[in-house]
Amino acid sequence: MSAFFETFLVHSLSRIIPGCYVRDRLPEHEKTVLLTFEDGPDPASTPRLLALLEEYHVSATFFLVGDKVAQYPELVREILERGHTLGNHTYHHLDAWKTSTLCYVKDVCSCSRIINSVAGELPLWWRPPYGHATGKLVNWCQRHGVQTVLWDVAAGDVSSRATVRSVERNIVQKIRPGSILSLHDNSRSARVTPAALREVLPRLIDDDWRFEELGSFAA
């Protein structure tokens, strides 16, 4: 999926489904940004991302896949110990548009349980894989104290055609006050994402952008 289509998709969903947490509900008067990663944890990617974030004193939210949490619990604990926020990205990286609501809810619950067992806390944030949300799922999450978090800037870092420069360009050209940046934490993105962030983070910091905690954007 292209970065353009990813962004178009979530803006369309935000108009159709109330409760999708995207840029138009965030502060727009300051140069603040929310940095998010999804699909992890991953031994090829997570340690490199954590090292970069620590180097530049940047906080992020990691939307974790449950079966990878079970495989790499030490990486989950390291994410938390370094001061980042944990989010739910389903247990099996399910597509909500191809899965029954009941099966999907069970998968979300399984992901929350494994994160809680490893990290000692339940995630308060959920991001549907591919950005595929439904009204029933968003409502269910809200009733159970879980906020849906989409994005308004897709870095396009898992595309087979992604390059360090294309990821950097997607971020720098599209970022606006209150933006939520969507990047990935997996073996595919590892070839471009850390290198792109090494270029982007100091550039944004020098330009007075602030990276906020997810909780700072709460309504």
User: 177: how many CB neighbours lie within 10 A of its CB?
Assistant: 15
Say if 122 falls within a structural domain: yes
Q: Strands 125-126 and 147-149, how do they pair? A: parallel
Q: Are 150 and 13 in contact (CB under 8 A)?
A: yes
Reported as a single tens digit per residue, the pLDDT across 203-215 is 999 999 999 888 6
Reported as a single tens digit per residue, the pLDDT across 60-87 is 999 999 999 999 999 999 999 999 999 9
User: 95: how many CB neighbours lie within 10 A of its CB?
Assistant: 13
Which residue has 């870092």 as its token pair?
157
Q: How many domains does the chain have?
A: 1
Angle at which helices 193-206 and 46-55 pack, to 10 degrees?
Answer: 20
Reported as a single tens digit per residue, the pLDDT across 13-43 is 555 566 666 655 555 668 989 999 999 999 9
Say if 145 falls within a structural domain: yes
Say if 88 falls within a structural domain: yes
Q: What is the CATH number of the domain that holds 101?
A: 3.20.20.370
Q: Are 82 and 122 in contact (CB under 8 A)?
A: no
Report which residue type is found at 160.
Answer: S
| H/E segment holding residue 174 | helix 164-174
| Structure token pair of residue 170 | 């997607």
Give the range of the structural domain holding residue 162, as residue numbers without chain letter.
Answer: 3-213
Predicted TM-score of the model (pTM): 0.90
Q: What CA–CA distance (Å, rounded) separates 172 from 166? A: 10
* Residue 212: Cβ-neighbour burial (10 angstroms; 0-12, 13-18, 19+): middle
Say if 219 falls within a structural domain: no
Beta bridge partners of 183: 37
